Amino acid sequence: MVVFLLVIGVTAITLQLTVRGVWERTLHEQIERNLKEKALMFAYRVEADRQHSLADITAQEGQAAGARATVIDPTGKVLADSEADAGSMENHAHRREFVSALAGKIGVDERKSHTLGIPFLYVAAPVSGGAVRLAYPLPEIEITNRPLGVALFWGSLSAFVFAMMVAGFTSHYVGRRLHRIVTFAERVAGGDLTARIASASTDEIGQVAAALDKTARRVEESYARVQTSQRELETLLNSMQDAVIAVDAEGRVQWANRGMNRLLLHVPRLNAPLIDSVRDPDFLAAIQEAARDQAVRSARSNTIVSGRTFDVTAAPMPGGGAVAVLRDLTETARMEKSRRDFIANVSHELRTPLTSIQGYTETLLDSPLADNHVREFLEIIRKNSARMSRLTEDLLTLTRVESGEQRFAIQRVGTEELLQDALESFQEVARSYGVELAIENSVPAGQVNADREAVHQIFSNLIENALKYAASGKKVILGARGAERGAEVVEFYVRDFGPGIFSEHLPRLFERFYRVDKARSRESGGTGLGLAIAKHIVLAHGGTICAESELNHGSTFLFTLTPAVPDSA
């Protein structure tokens, strides 16, 4: 309404000033034009009328024109004037209108009269022997304009009042429509997505209302889909046997499924710190690292519930915070321990009868009473009992390493020493296979943190594997790299030049009992546990082990150990 008032007021004032100004300019121009015509008629009569005196002509023409009439000679002397005594008037030769008239042109000027003291419009025309002039008083224009000003004032006032009535009605109508839109927006902002606003108008306000109504419909549909998805997700998570809990960036509980609620003694309170519900340090550290580093973190927890083991997987959430899944491994761990104990017990129990079978078999073989046919069967019994004995020993070794029962004496050992020990131990064995066993010349000097006997066992399994399956290459190379100062790991390798291994076998080489060529493995007397033992020994040292191979170009088995930190001076 205030804007309407300003616009209407400015329009009325501008109209008043503009119309009045245009009217005054038009009236002034018209009076000047009429005065010029009358001045020319005045000049013509002065030239042509010989019956009347100059004073009479001047008086008659001034009265007819409604203006003051004056006649001067070429020197500027006033010869006649319609309103003053010509003899007492000063010389008019220097008046601007007379200067132009005496020069043969119509002269026009506007100034205050020295005689009467009011502003006049002067128009002079040339005549033979001088000039004539008509003077129109300008206050007459103001008198003529006064009714126009009054009419304009009342017209503007009437238009202003009428416009204000229209503006008031329009403001009330627009305000009522905008109030409906504001009320609708407040309902939507308050969560009432069922709110609607109907508008049949096609103007801008109607378009805004229609757009908001359409937006509310779409928001309601989207919210319904989100709620459906949320319910489905909650149902899915609650149906899981694993416990799931989500926390925000500040470590406050945002959600927990039923599995988590059953797991804890007290149901986690929403928006409460996670540490109030769970005190396990490994679990809390995994969640904090996942949220901080924006990466998946894993941990093993044994204190969330007494006597139960959980595998914890924490993953970051897009908006900050993390979600953690706890998988109960208690039964799995128990079964794994039972499996290891069973294997260890069976292997331990088999050692004594297998040793007895081997001993009696060898005694019978040494007996002169056995014939060749009996000796053949006895040799088969001896070989298989020896193989079973090796298998039980390897099973015992693998079980002890895998379960962590075997303790390693970690100490600083030189890389050259480890390679040299392996070379000396298998030099003669390699010659019996017709294979050259050598250390690569470019082995850098350095030390690693390792158990010397355990590393020797790794080399033993890798070298035996190379001699059995790659003897056709006639050469096996031992080496190490990365032992220089500053390296993160030292990498040892055993390289052969045999037929190589197909790529599909490489990921499974270190699984227990996995064989690339099963028939050949049994003929060579292998147990299928050597690489698995090597793998677990390397893992116990905090390293990694892998194999690389290319068909017809040999294979390379690599494992890493941690370099020893040199003593400070």
Same domain flag for 336 and 376:
yes
Residue 569 clears pLDDT 50, i.e. is over it: no
Question: What average pLDDT does the segment 251-271 reach?
Answer: 81
Q: Give the residue from 209, 217, 215 showing the smallest Cα distance to 180.
A: 209
* Separation of alpha carbons 139 and 123, rounded Å: 17
Mark whether 253 and 381 lie in a shared domain: no
Q: Provide the pLDDT confidence category of residue 530 given band limits of 50, 70 and 90.
A: confident
Query: Looking at the 3D structure of the chain, how many domains does it have?
Result: 4
pTM of the predicted model, to two decimals?
0.46
168 in a domain, yes or no? no
- Give the other-Cβ count within 10 Å of 465's Cβ: 21
Residue 222 lies in a domain: no
The answer to whether residue 524 is domain-embedded is: yes
- Residues in contact with 355: Cβ distance below 8 Å, sequence separation at least 6, in sequence order: 389
Give the lowest-confidence range in 5-19, 177-191, 322-336, 527-541: 5-19
Looking at the structure, do residues 111 and 127 belong to the same domain, yes or no? yes
Q: Could you tell me if residue 46 is left (phi over 0), alpha (psi between -120 and 50 degrees) or otherwise beta?
A: alpha
- Predicted local confidence at residue 559, as pLDDT: 93
Does residue 557 lie within any of the structural domains? yes
Domain-terminating residue out of 328, 352, 383:
328
Residues in the chain: 569
Task: Assess whether 423 and 543 both reside in one domain.
Answer: yes
Same domain, 439 and 528: yes
Give the orientation angle of helix 372-403 with respect to helix 530-540, to 10 degrees: 20
DSSP 86-103: GGGSPP-TTSHHHHHHHT
- Domain termination residue (choose one: 367, 385, 403): 403
Element (DSSP H or E) covering residue 65: helix 54-65
Residue 567 vs residue 162, higher pLDDT? 162
- Are residues 455 and 517 located together in one domain of the fold? yes
pLDDT of residue 527: 66
On the question of pLDDT at 127 being above 70, the answer is: yes
Per the structure, the complete domain to which residue 301 belongs is given by 240-328
Phi-psi category of 105—alpha, beta or left, where left has phi over 0 and alpha has psi -120 to 50? beta
Confidence of residue 145 (pLDDT cuts 50, 70, 90): low
Same domain, 323 and 339: no
Final residue before a domain boundary, out of 351, 379, 403? 403
Give the CATH number, domain containing residue 38: 3.30.450.20
User: Are 273 and 386 members of one domain?
Assistant: no
Q: Do 514 and 420 reside in the same domain of the chain?
A: yes
Biggest CA–CA distance in the chain, Å, is: 194
Say which residue, 298 or 568, is predicted with more confidence. Answer: 298
Give residue 241's pLDDT.
74
Q: Give tens-digit pLDDT for 11-31.
A: 777 776 776 677 677 777 888
**pLDDT value for 126:** 92
